[in-house]
Amino acid sequence: MPGISLSDFFKEKRTASEIKSEILNEYFKAWAAILLKGQQYRKIERLVYVDLFSGPGLYDDGKPSTPIKILNSINQSKGQFIDFDNAVKTFFNDKSERLANDLKENIENLPYYDEITHKPVIANEPASQKMLEEYLQSASPSLTFIDPLGYNYTQNMLLYSVKNWGSDLFMLFNFNRIRAAIRNKKVKENMQGIFSSYYDEILEFYKKEERPHEREEFIIKTFQKIFADKGYYILKFKVNFPNRNQTSHYLFFISKVHLAITRAKEIMTKYSDIQDDGVPLFGANLNQDPLFFPSLCEYSVDELSKVILRNVSLFDQKTIEEIYREHNYSTNYIKQNYKDAIEILVDSNKIALFDKKGNPTMRMTYTAKIKFI
């Protein structure tokens, strides 16, 4: 975004569309590139991008939102080393007929529209299991964006969107809407559809706990359990309102592959608040947020050095890069944190470093192997 640093992106109030658009397009490019050129053991010929809450494609000021950004990224890749145009099929849906019609017009007015190999499919209907099955009918890897409160989603629909190998899911929660919906009888069926048997647990917790922050944390952890219980990996990013101790949105990323979580973390770190020791909190505007006080202690470079030291059998004789790849995805740690933690262990004579040829070295590179002393 010209004129604003990524770390300052959330310093002013952002709409759900802006948050989604900023992060989703960056991940789309990385995801498509990895799948099309990064697989040594299988050839991927088709990718599917599905946005079930697409909007008109342009903001009121005429700047592109997610659908146009995605199509721009596809078009800009033409003739490059990794060309998305021949592989990516796009599906956009909005339950508003007016917005769907505006999106169709805005897409067809793109100067390169006639050159798009797979013309975007634009729909205007309530999201459903049938719709997802239609869009994701092949075994092709897919990237799907869903707003679970935007339609009558069910847990099965959320899980269906990540059933295929290489398929990932983004969700953006407006937490005020979640808070209002939990005890609203008019949308009880929707809440039961999403949370399933966990919905009763949430209501029971509400009876015992009146503190808003505790309720919020319980709801979010319960939602994560839907996927964690079935073996999926989850990355959560929290956005507070600027200058207010109140949640605006949660962005969830779900994948079967821990390397996908690692890549999403690398992208979202650019937008995150960072601790003094360089560990990201995976959230924005979190100052004085009581929900994040515990995580300040849970993840730290010093704690990471202790974790490495406690796991000799896992990490001995591995490179710093390998340790990072194998360990980071269930934590807040990023690549630089591992280098910093290992430097602590080197300085305290707990480990030694060796280069590719097996020679002792003091160079703290990601290809250096560690050996416990």
Q: Taking residues 75-86, what's their average pLDDT?
A: 92
Q: Are 232 and 162 in contact (CB under 8 A)?
A: yes
CB 183 within 8 A of CB 199: no
Q: Is the pTM of this model over 0.85?
A: yes
Asked whether the beta carbons of 147 and 53 are under 8 A apart, the reply is yes
Fold match flag (6-285 vs 299-372): no
Ranking 54-63, 177-186, 348-357 by mean pLDDT, the lowest is 177-186
Percentage of residues in the chain having pLDDT higher than 90 = 59
Residue range 330-361, pLDDT digits in tens: 999 999 999 999 999 999 999 999 999 999 99
Name the band, by pLDDT with cuts 50, 70 and 90, for residue 1: very low
Q: Can you give the pLDDT at residue 115?
A: 96
Predicted pLDDT at 216: 93
Helix/strand/coil for 311: coil
State the fold for domain 299-372. Arc Repressor Mutant, subunit A (1.10.10)
Domain ranges of the chain: 6-285, 299-372
Burial degree of 100 (CB within 10 A; 0-12, 13-18, 19+)? buried
Cα four-point dihedral sign 173, 175, 177, 183: positive
Segment 192-236, tens digit of pLDDT:
888 988 999 999 999 999 999 899 999 999 999 999 999 999 999
Q: How far is residue 265's CA from residue 310's CA, in Å, rounded to a whole number?
A: 25
Whether residue 319 has pLDDT greater than 60: yes
Superfamily the domain 6-285 falls into: Vaccinia Virus protein VP39 (3.40.50.150)
Mean local confidence (pLDDT), 5-31: 80
Beta strands in 177-297 (DSSP E): 233-240, 247-255, 283-284
